């Protein structure tokens, strides 16, 4: 078994869509970034790449390359899923937490889990997504940004 940890944070910005876990969430601000800035998928990707000892999302998908500008993070997640298989592993489980003051994302969590599981070709029971506020503290608590943490367990294919 291999374990990886991921973290990401993006600033909230007007004029952008808020995409979390591959789901568009109605809100007057979105996440700023080179890609669609899906902070949840970025943390999960980093956890998976960490478990494989392949670096982080910036190593494989640098923000200096135009071909990744505005790319859908689900596409990157599907590519990482293929890397997992190519390296002889499968998803054991993923546990993730999104930190944001608002909007409330509880109504969207089941859709996020389903999309992540689909992109990783794993059972939805292997994917956990939680949300929390930071009680008005820090970058997410102030409403300036959104952060996400993830851990992933990979098992050797048998």
Residue 106 domain boundaries: 2-156
What CATH number should be reported for the domain holding residue 106?
3.30.1330.50
Q: What is the pLDDT of residues 88-134, one digit of tens each?
A: 999 999 999 999 999 999 999 999 999 999 999 999 999 999 999 98
Please tell me whether the peptide bond between 115 and the residue prior to it is cis, using omega within 30 degrees of 0.
no
Longest pairwise C-alpha distance within the chain: 47
Q: What is the pLDDT of residues 29-77, one digit of tens each?
A: 999 988 899 999 999 999 999 999 999 988 888 788 788 888 899 999 9
pTM for the whole structure: 0.96
Domain count, the chain: 1
Cα–Cα separations (whole angstroms), residue 83 to 32, 42, 51, 112: 27, 15, 11, 21
DSSP secondary structure letters along 66-79: GGGTT--HHHHHHH
């Amino acid at each position: 078994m291999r374990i990886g940890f991921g973290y990401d944070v993006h600033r909230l910005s007007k004029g952008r869509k808020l995409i979390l876990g591959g789901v568009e969430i109605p809100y007057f601000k979105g996440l700023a970034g080179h890609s669609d800035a899906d902070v949840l998928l970025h943390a999960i990707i980093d956890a998976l790449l960490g478990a494989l000892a392949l670096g982080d999302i910036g190593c494989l998908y640098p923000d200096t390359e135009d071909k990744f500008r505005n790319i859908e993070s689900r596409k990157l997640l599907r590519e990482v899923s293929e890397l997992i298989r190519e390296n002889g592993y499968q998803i054991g489980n993923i546990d993730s937490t999104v930190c944001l003051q608002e909007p409330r994302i509880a109504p969207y969590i089941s859709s996020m889990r389903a999309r992540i599981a689909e992109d990783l070709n794993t059972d939805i029971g292997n994917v956990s997504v939680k949300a929390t506020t930071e009680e008005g503290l820090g970058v997410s608590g102030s409403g300036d940004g959104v952060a996400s943490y993830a851990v992933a367990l990979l098992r050797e294919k048998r």
